[in-house]
Structure 1
Amino acid sequence: MTSVRLRGLLPTLPTRRTRTPPPPAAPGEVVAEALGVRIERGGRVVLDGVGIAMRAGEVLALVGPNGAGKSTLLAALAADLAPSSGEVRIAGRPAHGWAAGELALRRAVLPQDAALSFPFAVADVVRMGRAPWAGTEREGEDEEAVAEAMAATEVGAFAERPFSALSGGERARVALARVLAQRTGLLLLDEPTAALDLRHQELVLRVCRERAAAGDAVVVVLHDLGLAAAHADRVGVLHDGRVAVEGPPSEVLEEELLSRVYRQPVEVFPHPRTGVPLVVPRRTEADRHLPA
């Protein structure tokens, strides 16, 4: 499918340049924040008074056990889920105060599941990330942004293949490329490494680091504590709907806290070469000889 046909299927946006692209944030500037956010879903409190900030030039990893509220917090930070109390602010303004088109110029979201109902080609899926920039002075960057995003995620080799024909890991990388092509100053990524092999897990987290080095704020939900320790500037550990602790990995990833939060004894020790914390389950010799 050509880009012309694709554009006809995307939401109609103004053709006149009536929207001004947001200026880049200064290093360390708070790009988005949750202030006392409480969210209830299905009669259960999922987030209870959560406060956390995202800063330009940093990778913030959200970790915690299943059901801790990581994805819910990410959805709230994206303004896709309204809190029952508290507030989310993006670029200094309450998130609900931004029109959808303006919000899409300021944050890009990668959900856990990448699904499409139509057999779009990979290149056209990535090009969808440029839709918010139609009618702005930066719409001329479309092809450059798409090519750069596809190269960064190594999906160019199957640019013409239907998205529906890809493996789970390939779809995950194409979905990330769409987010990168959007070129916003805030990236919100929900488990971007879950379906990936070892090489591409590292590739994705390197891309996150590169975007942070270029001045973006990157928030990534991770289950792998080793990846969080190696690539994040700050880690927020969620537990029972609250941020149990938040700070640099070397300070946050501590044995007693993680053992309690995950209800699994762990050991934390420095990598022999880099000093980055390594987190592994605590095992005994007897564990190796348990009956199958």
Structure 2
Amino acid sequence: MRLLRSRPTPPAPASPGDLLAEAEALHVRLGARDVLHGVDVAVRAGEVLALVGPNGAGKSTLLGALAADIAPAGAVLPQSSALSFPFSVEEVVRMGRAPWAALDPADDEAAVAGAMAATEVTAFAARPFSALSGGERARVALARVLAQRAPLLMLDEPTAALDLRHQELVLRLCRERARAGDAVVVVLHDLGLAAAHAHRVAVLRAGRVAADGPPEEIFTESLLSEVYDQPVEVLTHPRTGAVLVLPVRTE
């Protein structure tokens, strides 16, 4: 008798406010170092959650810990992508459909084409991934994650290698995914981007959450100056009312 394994199916759509990932009193030790200490964080459908904080605060570790608990319903984009074989851009993006491959070929094609168009990589679909610039690779890697169409999207510093236009593009895509009912967790160093695009921000410091809430509430001069060990000023944009975070410069 031969046992037939059921094919995987895409996760069901989430409802607004659904809890898609959560950490309670999370501790992570890597080697001899405690990286996270009693971290609590919740990720809900319909929101963009930004993880911010100085280098070594534990942002990427927290992202990885959350992803391990929710696979395969989560899609994770690491800080950098490297491939040893000469795959084309389109082939790399198509890898994002691997969990659901052959379930609906037409849906696969639509997902791949849509992801490439959204990240503006269609024009060089046939080029080898290895021949791309760092910023182009980052956008292709994001397209691969978008093609998976998971209800939870996790991005680790997706704007680090991008120019101004494509930084805004990536964060707009995050907002669009949240409006469509998905949850997005994104690690960011740019506090301005976090303030402009995140519904909620978790500020990490030395492996702990120093504050968690809407950026307009928790981005205060006292908190950010302490967390980053750098004096900052928090201003309100005169036209949009958005929060602006600037380092205090004496010269």
The AA in structure 1 aligned to 2:217 is E
Partner of 2:115: 149
Structure 1 position 228 matched with structure 2 position 217: no
Structure 1 position 123 matched with structure 2 position 112: no
Q: How does 1:132-143 map to 2 (within 5 A)?
A: 132-134=99-101, 136=103, 138=104, 140-143=106-109
Q: How does 1:1-292 map to 2 (within 5 A)?
A: 17-79=6-68, 88=69, 90=70, 103-104=71-72, 106-134=73-101, 136=103, 138=104, 140-284=106-250, 287=251
CA contact (8 A) 1:16 1:135 kept: no
CA contact (8 A) 2:24 2:38 kept: yes
User: Secondary structure of 1:68's partner?
Assistant: coil
User: Secondary structure of 2:116's partner?
Assistant: helix
- Partners of 2:186 and 2:82 in 1: CA distance: 20
Q: Runs of at least 4 residues of structure 1 off by over 4 A?
A: none
Question: Deviation of residue 277 (structure 1)?
Answer: 0.8
Question: Deviation of residue 42 (structure 1)?
Answer: 2.4
Percent identity over the alignment is 73
Question: Deviation of residue 21 (structure 1)?
Answer: 2.9
User: Secondary structure of 1:37's partner?
Assistant: strand
Deviations 1:172-201 (A, max 9, x none): 000000000010000000000000000000
Question: Deviation of residue 245 (structure 1)?
Answer: 0.4
Deviations 1:266-291 (A, max 9, x none): 0001111111110000112xx2xxxx
CA contact (8 A) 1:236 1:244 kept: yes
- Partners of 1:139 and 1:232 in 2: CA distance: 34
The AA in structure 2 aligned to 1:112 is Q
CA contact (8 A) 1:126 1:181 kept: yes
Question: Deviation of residue 107 (structure 1)?
Answer: 0.6
User: Secondary structure of 1:274's partner?
Assistant: coil
Question: Deviation of residue 139 (structure 1)?
Answer: 5.3
Question: Deviation of residue 113 (structure 1)?
Answer: 1.0
TM-score (norm. length: structure 2)? 0.96
The AA in structure 2 aligned to 1:236 is A
Question: Deviation of residue 252 (structure 1)?
Answer: 1.1
The AA in structure 1 aligned to 2:201 is V
Deviations 1:133-188 (A, max 9, x none): 1364x554111000000000000010000000000000000000000001000000
- Partners of 2:38 and 2:102 in 1: CA distance: 39
The AA in structure 2 aligned to 1:188 is M
CA contact (8 A) 1:226 1:278 kept: yes
Deviations 1:246-281 (A, max 9, x none): 000101111000000000000001111111110000
User: Secondary structure of 1:78's partner?
Assistant: helix
Give the structure with higher Rg (CA): 1
Question: Deviation of residue 74 (structure 1)?
Answer: 0.5
TM-score (norm. length: structure 1)? 0.83
Q: CA RMSD in A?
A: 1.5
Structure 2: gaps spanning 5 or more residues:
none
- Partners of 2:116 and 2:43 in 1: CA distance: 26
Question: Deviation of residue 18 (structure 1)?
Answer: 3.1
Deviations 1:75-129 (A, max 9, x none): 10110xxxxxxxx5x4xxxxxxxxxxxx23x110000011101110000000000
